[in-house]
Amino acid sequence: MQIDKKDIRSLSKEQLRDFFVSNSDKSFRGNQVYEWLWSKGAHHFDDMTNLSKETRAMLSDNFVINHIKVDTMQRSEDGTVKNAVRLHDGLVVESVLIPTNTRTTACVSSQVGCSLDCNFCATAKLKRMRNLEPAEIYDQVLAIDKESRLYYNHPLSNIVFMGMGEPLMNYNNVIKAIDMITSTEGLGMSPKRITVSTSGVPKMIKKLADDEVKFKLAVSLHSAIDEIRFKIMPFTVNFPLAELRESLEYWYYKTKSKITYEYVVWKDINDNKESIDALVKFCKYVPCKVNLIEYNPIDDGEFQQASEQSINAYIKALESYGIVAKVRRSRGKDIDAACGQLANKEA
């Protein structure tokens, strides 16, 4: 029965080679199949034209290839593309293609729903249903790369793990997916073009540093005052800023890679001098830059974007200490593709 068959992409190259040897075939057959599965993105064993009919039949007797299906694709008036991606078990995640004049960025999901509980984020309302497999993350990137070539005439240039889910709560699968994306046996993309964004899980940030990863790190900070952060991101009660700070210092000490802080300024929450001073102080601990993200309302009315004036006050204060701060305007708002809006509205 189909259900009992293993997804062949859960096997490493070594395991595939061993599989062929234990079935009285040559180990290099494993390399061929691996290439079909990853760099050529085959969806069916019958696509593997350099294998005999018997070999293909033997593979489909033993395995399935679970691949994603782009159910619906919406295109925003600003060129942003949002894919609703159906997984083999029927669940849906979303990924986004964000074009600018010089590049195209894929924003991919790492979990179905999210393990965390940020009050301002639509994905958090879904709760975590399951982690994505490495191949499911990889396939989102492949799908967006294809769309980038089709609509913008060039391959995908960057990837951000800023879709649904908390990447560091699906650590192993995210790392495996990035290994494939950066491997010459996969997409051969430079890790410098990949950013993993976390709400800030100190233990896992330290693990990234120990694992000597080469991609960039972004942290969704939103406040440098514990009491405020506890309120808007309740899970942080277990990860206070002192611990986050320590993990970021460790990250920088090990990787020498600057951190990006993502920060939304909300009316009556963090649009005050105390919050600005706290952020400036926090930014001095580790080399960093700040992205001030525009708030995308999520239908509950609790949070409101702060005034232009308050945002300018942040920029002025940060810049006076030599900290680079940029305002990130939302993209794809009309199709609910902007930060924090991914929640399968039509699923």
Q: Which residues are catalytic?
A: 94, 339
Residue type, 332: G
Tell me whether residue 222 is annotated as binding.
Answer: yes
Q: How far is CA 306 from CA 10, 59, 160, 319, in A?
A: 46, 57, 25, 19
| Gap between the terminal Cα atoms of the chain | 28
Nearer Cβ to ligand SAH (68/107) = 107
Among 11, 87, 209, 339, interactor with ligand SAH by CB under 6 A:
339
Among 94, 139, 147, 166, interactor with ligand SAH by CB under 6 A:
166
Give the burial class of 61: count Cβ atoms within 10 A of its Cβ; 0-12 exposed, 13-18 middle, 19 or more buried: exposed
Residue 17, classed as helix, strand or coil, is helix
Cβ atoms of 76 and 335 within 8 Å: the answer is yes
Tell me whether residue 121 is annotated as binding.
Answer: yes
Tell me whether residue 342 is annotated as binding.
Answer: no
Kindly calculate the radius of gyration of the chain based on its CA atoms and give it in whole angstroms. Answer: 22
Binding mask 227-266 for ligand SAH (x = CB under 6 A): -----------------------------------x-x--
197 lies in the binding site for ligand SAH (CB under 6 A): yes
Residues 6+ apart with CB under 8 A from 270: 222, 223, 225, 228, 306
The Cβ of residue 23 has, within 10 Å, a number of other Cβ atoms equal to 12
Cβ atoms of 288 and 321 within 8 Å: the answer is no
271 lies in the binding site for ligand SAH (CB under 6 A): no
Tell me whether residue 114 is annotated as binding.
Answer: yes
Helix (H) / strand (E) element for 218: namely strand 216-220
Between residue 117 and residue 146, which ones bind ligand SAH under the rule CB under 6 A? 118, 120-121
The C-alpha atoms of residue 308 and residue 314 are separated, in whole angstroms, by 10
220 lies in the binding site for ligand SAH (CB under 6 A): yes
Tell me whether residue 288 is annotated as binding.
Answer: no
Nearer Cβ to ligand SAH (66/115) = 115
Tell me whether residue 197 is annotated as binding.
Answer: yes
Among 16, 106, 135, 162, interactor with ligand SAH by CB under 6 A:
162
Residue 329 Cβ, how far from ligand SAH at the closest point, in Å? 11
Cβ atoms of 119 and 159 within 8 Å: the answer is no
Among 293, 306, 313, 337, interactor with ligand SAH by CB under 6 A:
293
Judged by the rule CB under 6 A, the positions of this chain that interact with ligand SAH are 118, 120-121, 162, 166, 197-199, 220, 262, 264, 293, 295-296, 298, 339-340
Residues annotated in a binding site for S-adenosyl-L-methionine: 165-166, 197, 220-222, 296
